[in-house]
Structure 1
Amino acid sequence: MSKKMDTRINILKTETLSDNWYSLNKVTFEYQKRNGALETQSREVYDRGNGATILLYHKEKGTIILTEQFRLPTFLNGNSTGMLIESCAGLLDEDNPEDCAKKEAEEETGFRISKVEKIFESYMSPGAVTEILHFFIAEYQEGMKVSEGGGLDEEHEDIEVLEMKFGEAYEMIFTGKIKDAKTIMLLQYAKIHDLCTKSK
């Protein structure tokens, strides 16, 4: 269902600055402030589509599956190796969020998951990027492994699959070994809901 646009906002002009991989637009708009005054502003907005991310967890073993891969923007901003530990994720493209989460889990980790649970969604960088990310969790078992994972060659992915104890991963937030926002959010959710604590 489409949502009614806020009448305080009037888009005046949209200019495409780049349409190489995704779209970078300069949007000029009129905005009515809380005091009633009208103000014209311009912002650059990056549109790469929406995405999904998923945390795979094994309740009995107390483990989770994460991935590690090279991320150029982090390398350019102080990450000396460019390697980042993350929950698996990807853009929706033509998929719905649930199917995307399942597909990315299999491509990146090698586990074929049949049942996922959506827990929330979030704008990840609302000052500049349009993307909404859909967050999922799913239990995995050894019998669900159908490949070694690692991502797709045609997408130039070179992904290492990491299975680790939840406590070890959670501690990495505070040591700085995990700095990826979506992963931190999923690990915090898992901590709050005791996903990796074996049932009594």
Structure 2
Amino acid sequence: MKAEILSLRTLHEGWTRFSLARVRLADGREAEREIEDHGNSVGVLPYDPARRVATLVRELRVPALYVAGEQSQLEAPAGLIDDGTPEDNARREVLEEAGLRLGDLDFVGATYSCGGISTERIHLFLAAYAATDRVDGGGGADGEHENIRVVEMPLAELARMADRCELTDLKTLTLVLALRARRPELFAG
């Protein structure tokens, strides 16, 4: 027997939708499961291979503030997919948040961000850039109250942070490890 959703009840609908699903499990029993749905997203780690740095952002994440008192989280630029392809949205988000105009993107994968509760699939990319690709100060889109701070840091320091379990954002950790596996020479020093 295959699992199937028997009913779905919306509990809240706003920026995100919260629903309660009644599910028949593969063994025939029934259970309730919560679903959070806000759409799919992109995450990008822009890096400058000549200078061996990456551009990240610091932003308030209220859930991290709530559970750990974190005032901001260091992370790769990211955002929801609106219209267009994941690649188009990735370039838009990096321009808005970090002020970088990107060309080619290196696809890492599309994974569920937290498959136990969320429908979100995050499309992950690496993107090489040069110092001349900085066209703006970044900081986020007007009217979104993001208060983003752009942080450029050495790749070697990012690797040390990953090794010390100091990167608390899963997409950022994934992207740093992917870049390290694909271009280990950039992390020397």
TM over 0.5: yes
Of structures 1 and 2, the larger Rg is shown by 1
1:13 is aligned to 2:7: yes
Worse overlay, 169-178 or 92-101: 169-178
1:70 is aligned to 2:64: no
Q: Residue 49 of structure 1: SS of its match in structure 2?
A: coil
Specify the code of the residue in structure 2 equivalent to 1:76. Answer: Y
1:184 is aligned to 2:178: no
> Which structure 2 residues correspond to residues 1-200 of structure 1 after superposition, within 5 A?
8-33=2-27, 38-78=28-68, 80-194=69-183, 197=186
Q: Partners in 2 of 1:46 and 1:104 — Cα distance?
A: 22
TM-score when normalising by structure 2? 0.93
TM-score when normalising by structure 1? 0.88
Q: Residue 14 of structure 1: SS of its match in structure 2?
A: strand
Task: Confirm or deny: 8 A CA contact 2:155 2:186 kept in the other structure.
Answer: no
Q: Residue 51 of structure 2: SS of its match in structure 1?
A: coil
Worse overlay, 188-197 or 129-138: 188-197
Determine what percentage of the aligned residue pairs are the same residue: 29
* Matched pairs, number: 187
Task: Confirm or deny: 8 A CA contact 1:59 1:196 kept in the other structure.
Answer: no
Q: CA deviation at 1:159?
A: 0.6
Q: Partners in 2 of 1:42 and 1:81 — Cα distance?
A: 32
Worse overlay, 141-150 or 172-181: 172-181
Please name the residue that 1:4 is paired with.
Answer: none
Change (3 A) 1:137 1:195: farther
Change (3 A) 1:196 1:104: farther
Task: Confirm or deny: 8 A CA contact 1:112 1:145 kept in the other structure.
Answer: yes
- Gap regions ≥5 residues in structure 2: none
Task: Confirm or deny: 8 A CA contact 1:49 1:131 kept in the other structure.
Answer: yes
- Gap regions ≥5 residues in structure 1: 1-6
Q: CA deviation at 1:175?
A: 3.7
Q: Partners in 2 of 1:143 and 1:90 — Cα distance?
A: 24
Specify the code of the residue in structure 1 equivalent to 2:94. Answer: A
